[in-house]
Amino acid sequence: MKLLNQAVAVTALNIRNLPQRIGGSVVAVVGVAAVVLVFAAVLSMATGFERTMMAAGTEDTAIVMRSGSTAELNSGLSNEQALIIANAPGVMRDGDSAIASFEIYVVVDLRKKTTNEDANAPLRGVQAGAFDIRSNVEIVEGRAFEEGKNELVVGRAAQSQFAGLEVGDDIRFGQTTWTVVGVFEAGGSVSESELWTDLPVLQSMYRRGTSVQSVRVRLETPESIDELSQVLADDPRLDVDVMTEMAYYSSQAAPLSQFIRIVGYPLTVLMAIGAVFGALNSMYASVSVRGKEIATLRALGFGPFSVLVSTIVESTLLSLIGGLLGGAVAFVVFNGFQVSTLNGASFSQVVFDFAVTPDLLMQGIIAALIIGLVGGFFPALRAARLPVAQALREL
Protein backbone atom coordinates (compact mmCIF):
# COMPACT_ATOMS: atom_id res chain seq x y z
CA MET A 1 0.00 0.00 0.00
CA LYS A 2 2.87 2.32 0.82
CA LEU A 3 4.50 1.69 -2.57
CA LEU A 4 1.23 2.45 -4.33
CA ASN A 5 0.70 5.69 -2.41
CA GLN A 6 4.24 6.78 -3.22
CA ALA A 7 3.76 5.96 -6.90
CA VAL A 8 0.50 7.96 -7.01
CA ALA A 9 2.11 10.95 -5.28
CA VAL A 10 5.15 11.04 -7.59
CA THR A 11 3.01 10.51 -10.68
CA ALA A 12 0.75 13.42 -9.69
CA LEU A 13 3.83 15.60 -9.19
CA ASN A 14 5.16 14.65 -12.66
CA ILE A 15 1.88 15.47 -14.33
CA ARG A 16 1.64 18.86 -12.61
CA ASN A 17 5.16 19.67 -13.80
CA LEU A 18 4.51 18.74 -17.46
CA PRO A 19 4.09 22.41 -18.52
CA GLN A 20 7.73 22.96 -17.51
CA ARG A 21 8.77 20.34 -20.06
CA ILE A 22 6.36 21.43 -22.77
CA GLY A 23 8.83 21.21 -25.67
CA GLY A 24 9.73 17.55 -25.28
CA SER A 25 6.16 16.66 -24.39
CA VAL A 26 4.80 18.23 -27.58
CA VAL A 27 7.35 16.35 -29.69
CA ALA A 28 6.26 13.04 -28.16
CA VAL A 29 2.55 13.83 -28.55
CA VAL A 30 2.89 14.94 -32.18
CA GLY A 31 4.96 11.87 -33.09
CA VAL A 32 2.37 9.48 -31.70
CA ALA A 33 -0.49 11.50 -33.21
CA ALA A 34 1.12 11.18 -36.65
CA VAL A 35 1.34 7.40 -36.27
CA VAL A 36 -2.32 7.04 -35.32
CA LEU A 37 -3.39 9.50 -38.03
CA VAL A 38 -1.61 7.57 -40.80
CA PHE A 39 -2.76 4.22 -39.39
CA ALA A 40 -6.41 5.30 -39.28
CA ALA A 41 -6.30 7.08 -42.65
CA VAL A 42 -4.75 4.17 -44.56
CA LEU A 43 -6.83 1.40 -43.02
CA SER A 44 -10.04 3.43 -43.24
CA MET A 45 -9.67 3.01 -47.01
CA ALA A 46 -9.87 -0.76 -46.67
CA THR A 47 -12.71 -0.54 -44.14
CA GLY A 48 -14.68 1.88 -46.30
CA PHE A 49 -14.18 -0.19 -49.45
CA GLU A 50 -15.30 -3.35 -47.67
CA ARG A 51 -18.32 -1.58 -46.20
CA THR A 52 -19.36 -0.29 -49.63
CA MET A 53 -19.01 -3.70 -51.23
CA MET A 54 -20.70 -5.62 -48.44
CA ALA A 55 -23.62 -3.20 -48.18
CA ALA A 56 -24.79 -4.41 -51.60
CA GLY A 57 -25.04 -8.03 -50.50
CA THR A 58 -27.67 -9.84 -48.46
CA GLU A 59 -27.96 -13.38 -47.20
CA ASP A 60 -31.40 -13.90 -48.75
CA THR A 61 -30.27 -13.07 -52.29
CA ALA A 62 -28.28 -15.50 -54.42
CA ILE A 63 -26.19 -14.82 -57.50
CA VAL A 64 -25.67 -17.60 -60.02
CA MET A 65 -22.84 -17.53 -62.56
CA ARG A 66 -21.05 -19.95 -64.84
CA SER A 67 -18.90 -22.39 -62.91
CA GLY A 68 -15.36 -21.11 -62.34
CA SER A 69 -16.23 -17.47 -62.94
CA THR A 70 -14.52 -15.07 -60.54
CA ALA A 71 -16.73 -12.14 -61.52
CA GLU A 72 -19.73 -11.32 -63.68
CA LEU A 73 -17.46 -10.06 -66.47
CA ASN A 74 -16.12 -13.53 -67.21
CA SER A 75 -19.40 -15.40 -66.74
CA GLY A 76 -21.90 -16.42 -69.38
CA LEU A 77 -25.28 -18.16 -69.32
CA SER A 78 -27.83 -18.86 -72.02
CA ASN A 79 -31.38 -17.60 -71.69
CA GLU A 80 -32.57 -21.21 -71.32
CA GLN A 81 -30.18 -21.77 -68.42
CA ALA A 82 -31.28 -18.51 -66.80
CA LEU A 83 -34.92 -19.59 -66.96
CA ILE A 84 -34.09 -22.94 -65.34
CA ILE A 85 -32.31 -21.13 -62.52
CA ALA A 86 -35.14 -18.64 -61.94
CA ASN A 87 -37.73 -21.41 -61.69
CA ALA A 88 -35.71 -23.69 -59.41
CA PRO A 89 -36.90 -24.67 -55.91
CA GLY A 90 -35.87 -22.27 -53.15
CA VAL A 91 -36.49 -19.14 -55.25
CA MET A 92 -39.14 -16.81 -53.82
CA ARG A 93 -42.13 -16.22 -56.05
CA ASP A 94 -44.62 -13.38 -56.41
CA GLY A 95 -47.68 -15.24 -57.61
CA ASP A 96 -46.60 -17.19 -60.68
CA SER A 97 -43.43 -15.15 -61.27
CA ALA A 98 -40.04 -15.75 -59.70
CA ILE A 99 -38.41 -12.76 -58.03
CA ALA A 100 -35.33 -12.78 -60.25
CA SER A 101 -33.29 -10.61 -62.56
CA PHE A 102 -31.22 -11.72 -65.54
CA GLU A 103 -28.29 -9.34 -65.87
CA ILE A 104 -25.27 -8.44 -67.96
CA TYR A 105 -22.38 -6.24 -66.88
CA VAL A 106 -20.18 -4.21 -69.22
CA VAL A 107 -17.55 -1.53 -68.74
CA VAL A 108 -17.85 1.89 -70.40
CA ASP A 109 -15.67 5.01 -70.41
CA LEU A 110 -16.83 8.06 -68.47
CA ARG A 111 -14.97 11.27 -67.74
CA LYS A 112 -14.11 11.80 -64.08
CA LYS A 113 -14.92 15.22 -62.66
CA THR A 114 -11.74 15.44 -60.58
CA THR A 115 -9.16 14.53 -63.23
CA ASN A 116 -11.09 15.21 -66.47
CA GLU A 117 -9.80 11.85 -67.71
CA ASP A 118 -11.69 8.75 -68.83
CA ALA A 119 -12.18 5.94 -66.36
CA ASN A 120 -13.99 2.61 -66.41
CA ALA A 121 -17.57 2.70 -65.16
CA PRO A 122 -19.94 -0.27 -64.80
CA LEU A 123 -23.06 -0.37 -66.98
CA ARG A 124 -25.53 -3.05 -65.93
CA GLY A 125 -28.47 -4.38 -67.91
CA VAL A 126 -31.24 -5.52 -65.57
CA GLN A 127 -34.82 -6.72 -65.58
CA ALA A 128 -37.63 -5.15 -63.58
CA GLY A 129 -37.04 -7.74 -60.84
CA ALA A 130 -33.71 -6.06 -60.00
CA PHE A 131 -35.59 -3.41 -58.04
CA ASP A 132 -37.49 -6.08 -56.08
CA ILE A 133 -34.34 -8.04 -55.30
CA ARG A 134 -32.31 -5.02 -54.22
CA SER A 135 -34.75 -3.63 -51.68
CA ASN A 136 -32.36 -0.81 -50.73
CA VAL A 137 -32.46 0.73 -54.22
CA GLU A 138 -34.64 3.83 -54.43
CA ILE A 139 -35.14 6.30 -57.27
CA VAL A 140 -34.47 9.72 -55.70
CA GLU A 141 -34.45 11.89 -58.82
CA GLY A 142 -36.35 11.55 -62.10
CA ARG A 143 -37.84 8.14 -62.86
CA ALA A 144 -36.94 4.56 -63.70
CA PHE A 145 -35.93 3.69 -67.25
CA GLU A 146 -38.61 2.44 -69.64
CA GLU A 147 -38.29 -0.96 -71.29
CA GLY A 148 -37.02 -0.93 -74.86
CA LYS A 149 -35.54 2.59 -74.68
CA ASN A 150 -31.96 3.86 -74.50
CA GLU A 151 -32.47 5.22 -71.01
CA LEU A 152 -30.26 5.07 -67.95
CA VAL A 153 -30.70 5.41 -64.22
CA VAL A 154 -27.41 6.21 -62.47
CA GLY A 155 -26.21 5.63 -58.95
CA ARG A 156 -25.75 8.65 -56.70
CA ALA A 157 -22.06 7.86 -56.18
CA ALA A 158 -21.43 7.51 -59.92
CA GLN A 159 -23.17 10.84 -60.52
CA SER A 160 -20.90 12.54 -57.97
CA GLN A 161 -17.71 11.20 -59.58
CA PHE A 162 -18.43 11.26 -63.32
CA ALA A 163 -19.44 14.12 -65.63
CA GLY A 164 -22.56 14.10 -67.78
CA LEU A 165 -24.81 12.08 -65.46
CA GLU A 166 -27.38 14.68 -64.48
CA VAL A 167 -31.03 13.89 -65.15
CA GLY A 168 -31.79 14.90 -68.74
CA ASP A 169 -28.18 14.59 -69.95
CA ASP A 170 -27.41 12.63 -73.12
CA ILE A 171 -24.29 10.50 -73.04
CA ARG A 172 -22.68 8.45 -75.80
CA PHE A 173 -21.10 5.00 -75.55
CA GLY A 174 -19.71 3.81 -78.87
CA GLN A 175 -22.32 4.45 -81.54
CA THR A 176 -25.23 4.73 -79.12
CA THR A 177 -26.64 7.77 -77.32
CA TRP A 178 -28.30 7.24 -73.95
CA THR A 179 -30.46 9.58 -71.91
CA VAL A 180 -30.14 9.81 -68.12
CA VAL A 181 -33.70 9.72 -66.77
CA GLY A 182 -33.17 9.01 -63.08
CA VAL A 183 -30.81 8.79 -60.11
CA PHE A 184 -30.96 6.06 -57.49
CA GLU A 185 -29.50 5.51 -54.05
CA ALA A 186 -28.69 2.12 -52.58
CA GLY A 187 -27.68 2.67 -48.98
CA GLY A 188 -24.13 3.71 -49.90
CA SER A 189 -23.42 0.30 -51.45
CA VAL A 190 -21.36 -0.51 -54.52
CA SER A 191 -24.58 -0.48 -56.57
CA GLU A 192 -24.46 3.33 -56.39
CA SER A 193 -21.31 3.23 -58.53
CA GLU A 194 -23.25 1.65 -61.41
CA LEU A 195 -25.43 2.75 -64.33
CA TRP A 196 -28.52 0.65 -65.03
CA THR A 197 -30.56 0.15 -68.20
CA ASP A 198 -33.05 -2.30 -69.68
CA LEU A 199 -31.49 -5.73 -70.24
CA PRO A 200 -32.76 -6.38 -73.84
CA VAL A 201 -31.57 -2.93 -74.94
CA LEU A 202 -28.04 -3.56 -73.64
CA GLN A 203 -28.01 -7.08 -75.08
CA SER A 204 -28.89 -5.64 -78.47
CA MET A 205 -26.34 -2.81 -78.33
CA TYR A 206 -23.53 -5.20 -77.41
CA ARG A 207 -24.71 -8.03 -79.67
CA ARG A 208 -25.17 -10.46 -76.82
CA GLY A 209 -28.27 -12.09 -78.26
CA THR A 210 -30.31 -13.44 -75.34
CA SER A 211 -27.31 -14.51 -73.26
CA VAL A 212 -26.73 -13.14 -69.77
CA GLN A 213 -23.83 -13.14 -67.33
CA SER A 214 -25.59 -13.65 -64.02
CA VAL A 215 -28.95 -14.43 -62.51
CA ARG A 216 -29.93 -12.88 -59.20
CA VAL A 217 -32.78 -14.45 -57.26
CA ARG A 218 -34.50 -13.69 -53.98
CA LEU A 219 -34.43 -16.79 -51.77
CA GLU A 220 -37.42 -18.03 -49.80
CA THR A 221 -35.16 -18.07 -46.73
CA PRO A 222 -31.40 -17.67 -46.29
CA GLU A 223 -31.23 -21.43 -45.74
CA SER A 224 -32.74 -22.02 -49.19
CA ILE A 225 -29.30 -21.42 -50.70
CA ASP A 226 -28.42 -25.05 -49.92
CA GLU A 227 -31.51 -26.42 -51.65
CA LEU A 228 -30.98 -24.19 -54.68
CA SER A 229 -27.31 -25.14 -54.95
CA GLN A 230 -28.08 -28.85 -54.78
CA VAL A 231 -30.87 -28.70 -57.37
CA LEU A 232 -28.75 -26.74 -59.84
CA ALA A 233 -25.74 -28.98 -59.26
CA ASP A 234 -27.84 -32.06 -60.06
CA ASP A 235 -29.19 -30.59 -63.32
CA PRO A 236 -27.07 -31.85 -66.27
CA ARG A 237 -28.07 -28.81 -68.33
CA LEU A 238 -26.21 -26.50 -65.96
CA ASP A 239 -22.64 -25.95 -64.84
CA VAL A 240 -22.92 -23.06 -62.41
CA ASP A 241 -21.71 -21.68 -59.11
CA VAL A 242 -24.26 -20.47 -56.57
CA MET A 243 -23.44 -18.11 -53.71
CA THR A 244 -25.12 -15.48 -51.62
CA GLU A 245 -24.59 -11.87 -52.60
CA MET A 246 -22.83 -11.38 -49.27
CA ALA A 247 -20.28 -14.07 -50.12
CA TYR A 248 -19.85 -12.77 -53.67
CA TYR A 249 -19.14 -9.19 -52.67
CA SER A 250 -16.87 -10.35 -49.86
CA SER A 251 -14.73 -12.18 -52.42
CA GLN A 252 -14.77 -9.10 -54.66
CA ALA A 253 -13.60 -6.83 -51.84
CA ALA A 254 -10.87 -9.11 -50.52
CA PRO A 255 -7.98 -8.45 -52.98
CA LEU A 256 -7.93 -4.65 -52.67
CA SER A 257 -8.62 -4.69 -48.93
CA GLN A 258 -5.79 -7.14 -48.34
CA PHE A 259 -3.43 -5.06 -50.48
CA ILE A 260 -4.22 -1.91 -48.48
CA ARG A 261 -3.61 -3.74 -45.22
CA ILE A 262 -0.38 -5.27 -46.50
CA VAL A 263 0.84 -1.74 -47.18
CA GLY A 264 -0.81 -0.09 -44.17
CA TYR A 265 0.39 -2.25 -41.30
CA PRO A 266 4.14 -2.24 -42.19
CA LEU A 267 3.95 1.53 -42.77
CA THR A 268 2.40 1.96 -39.35
CA VAL A 269 5.06 -0.24 -37.74
CA LEU A 270 7.86 1.82 -39.32
CA MET A 271 6.30 5.06 -38.14
CA ALA A 272 5.69 3.54 -34.71
CA ILE A 273 9.40 2.69 -34.41
CA GLY A 274 10.20 6.32 -35.15
CA ALA A 275 7.64 7.44 -32.57
CA VAL A 276 9.18 5.10 -29.98
CA PHE A 277 12.57 6.74 -30.48
CA GLY A 278 10.88 10.13 -30.20
CA ALA A 279 9.31 9.06 -26.92
CA LEU A 280 12.64 7.68 -25.71
CA ASN A 281 14.41 10.96 -26.43
CA SER A 282 11.64 12.94 -24.78
CA MET A 283 11.59 10.79 -21.65
CA TYR A 284 15.40 10.61 -21.35
CA ALA A 285 15.42 14.41 -21.57
CA SER A 286 12.69 14.55 -18.94
CA VAL A 287 14.65 12.29 -16.59
CA SER A 288 17.79 14.38 -17.14
CA VAL A 289 15.97 17.65 -16.36
CA ARG A 290 14.30 16.08 -13.34
CA GLY A 291 17.49 14.55 -11.96
CA LYS A 292 17.60 16.80 -8.92
CA GLU A 293 13.90 16.36 -8.29
CA ILE A 294 14.19 12.56 -8.49
CA ALA A 295 17.24 12.55 -6.20
CA THR A 296 15.42 14.71 -3.67
CA LEU A 297 12.41 12.42 -3.69
CA ARG A 298 14.65 9.40 -3.18
CA ALA A 299 16.41 11.14 -0.30
CA LEU A 300 13.02 11.81 1.30
CA GLY A 301 12.26 8.09 1.26
CA PHE A 302 10.46 7.53 -2.03
CA GLY A 303 11.57 4.18 -3.47
CA PRO A 304 12.76 3.32 -7.01
CA PHE A 305 9.40 1.72 -7.75
CA SER A 306 7.51 5.00 -7.43
CA VAL A 307 9.97 6.75 -9.75
CA LEU A 308 9.75 3.88 -12.27
CA VAL A 309 5.95 3.90 -12.30
CA SER A 310 5.64 7.69 -12.52
CA THR A 311 7.94 7.90 -15.53
CA ILE A 312 6.13 5.11 -17.40
CA VAL A 313 2.76 6.69 -16.60
CA GLU A 314 3.99 10.07 -17.90
CA SER A 315 5.16 8.52 -21.16
CA THR A 316 1.94 6.54 -21.56
CA LEU A 317 -0.19 9.60 -20.81
CA LEU A 318 1.61 11.66 -23.46
CA SER A 319 1.15 8.83 -25.97
CA LEU A 320 -2.52 8.53 -25.07
CA ILE A 321 -3.00 12.24 -25.69
CA GLY A 322 -1.19 11.84 -29.02
CA GLY A 323 -3.34 8.84 -29.91
CA LEU A 324 -6.57 10.67 -29.12
CA LEU A 325 -5.40 13.70 -31.08
CA GLY A 326 -4.40 11.63 -34.11
CA GLY A 327 -7.66 9.67 -33.99
CA ALA A 328 -9.73 12.85 -33.74
CA VAL A 329 -7.96 14.43 -36.72
CA ALA A 330 -8.36 11.22 -38.74
CA PHE A 331 -12.07 11.09 -37.97
CA VAL A 332 -12.72 14.76 -38.80
CA VAL A 333 -10.62 14.81 -41.98
CA PHE A 334 -11.07 11.34 -43.46
CA ASN A 335 -14.31 9.80 -42.20
CA GLY A 336 -16.84 10.03 -45.03
CA PHE A 337 -14.27 11.35 -47.51
CA GLN A 338 -15.42 10.05 -50.91
CA VAL A 339 -13.03 8.67 -53.51
CA SER A 340 -13.15 6.17 -56.34
CA THR A 341 -10.71 3.44 -57.21
CA LEU A 342 -10.38 0.68 -59.77
CA ASN A 343 -11.65 -2.64 -58.48
CA GLY A 344 -9.38 -5.22 -60.07
CA ALA A 345 -12.05 -7.90 -59.84
CA SER A 346 -14.52 -6.00 -62.03
CA PHE A 347 -12.12 -3.66 -63.91
CA SER A 348 -14.39 -0.72 -63.10
CA GLN A 349 -14.44 2.22 -60.74
CA VAL A 350 -15.98 1.76 -57.31
CA VAL A 351 -16.95 4.90 -55.42
CA PHE A 352 -16.61 4.57 -51.65
CA ASP A 353 -16.21 6.61 -48.48
CA PHE A 354 -13.31 6.34 -46.04
CA ALA A 355 -14.64 4.76 -42.83
CA VAL A 356 -12.83 5.65 -39.60
CA THR A 357 -14.68 3.18 -37.39
CA PRO A 358 -14.61 2.91 -33.57
CA ASP A 359 -12.74 -0.40 -33.93
CA LEU A 360 -10.09 1.28 -36.07
CA LEU A 361 -9.72 4.14 -33.58
CA MET A 362 -9.39 1.65 -30.74
CA GLN A 363 -6.59 -0.15 -32.59
CA GLY A 364 -4.86 3.22 -33.01
CA ILE A 365 -5.19 4.02 -29.30
CA ILE A 366 -3.80 0.60 -28.37
CA ALA A 367 -0.84 1.22 -30.70
CA ALA A 368 -0.29 4.60 -29.02
CA LEU A 369 -0.30 3.03 -25.55
CA ILE A 370 2.23 0.42 -26.66
CA ILE A 371 4.47 3.19 -28.01
CA GLY A 372 4.18 5.00 -24.68
CA LEU A 373 4.99 1.92 -22.64
CA VAL A 374 8.00 0.95 -24.74
CA GLY A 375 9.22 4.52 -25.06
CA GLY A 376 8.96 5.14 -21.34
CA PHE A 377 10.33 1.88 -19.97
CA PHE A 378 14.07 2.40 -20.42
CA PRO A 379 14.11 6.06 -19.29
CA ALA A 380 12.02 4.96 -16.29
CA LEU A 381 14.55 2.24 -15.52
CA ARG A 382 17.36 4.81 -15.67
CA ALA A 383 15.44 7.16 -13.38
CA ALA A 384 14.81 4.37 -10.86
CA ARG A 385 18.52 3.42 -10.81
CA LEU A 386 19.78 7.00 -10.56
CA PRO A 387 22.29 7.16 -7.64
CA VAL A 388 21.00 9.71 -5.12
CA ALA A 389 24.36 11.07 -4.01
CA GLN A 390 25.67 11.38 -7.58
CA ALA A 391 22.55 13.19 -8.77
CA LEU A 392 22.69 15.68 -5.90
CA ARG A 393 26.39 16.41 -6.53
CA GLU A 394 25.91 16.89 -10.31
CA LEU A 395 22.94 19.20 -9.98
What burial class does residue 316 get, using C-beta atoms within 10 Å of its C-beta: 0-12 exposed, 13-18 middle, 19+ buried? Answer: buried
Asked whether 346 and 254 are in contact (CB, 8 A), the reply is no
Contacts of residue 173, defined as CB under 8 A and 6 or more positions apart, other chains included, come to 108, 109, 123, 205
The per-residue pLDDT for 213 is: 95
Query: What are the start-end ranges of the H helices in 189-236?
Result: 199-205, 224-234
- The single-letter code of the amino acid at 368 is A
DSSP annotation of 217 = E
260-274, 319-333, 355-369: lowest mean pLDDT where? 260-274
How do residues 150-198 score in pLDDT, each as one tens digit? Answer: 999 999 999 999 999 999 999 988 778 999 999 999 888 888 999 999 9
Using alpha carbons, list the distances in angstroms from residue 382 to 28, 145, 186.
19, 74, 59
User: Which secondary structure element, helix H or strand E, spans residue 308, and what is its range?
Assistant: helix 304-334
Q: Is the pLDDT of residue 2 over 70?
A: no
Lowest mean pLDDT among 72-86, 169-183, 269-283, 322-336: 269-283
What pLDDT, in 10s, does the model give residues 201-258? 999 988 889 999 999 999 999 999 999 999 999 999 999 999 998 888 888 887 778 8
The DSSP secondary structure of 107-146, one letter per residue, reads EEEEEBTTT-SEEEEEEEEE-THHHHH-TT-EEEEE-PPP
Give the separation between CA 242 and CA 69, rounded to whole angstroms.
11
Question: Among 23-37, 52-66, 281-295, which stretch is predicted with the lowest mean pLDDT?
Answer: 281-295
Asked whether the predicted pLDDT for residue 122 surpasses 80, the reply is yes
Query: What Rg, from alpha-carbon coordinates, does the chain have?
Result: 30
Question: What is the domain partition of the chain in residue ranges?
Answer: 2-54+253-394, 68-238
pLDDT given at position 309: 72
Question: Nearest CA to 171 among 150, 156, 202, 198?
Answer: 150
In 3D space, the residue among 346, 296, 364, 363 whose CA is nearest the CA of residue 56 turns out to be 346
Q: Is the pLDDT reported for residue 7 higher than 60?
A: no
Q: What is the mean pLDDT of the chain?
A: 83
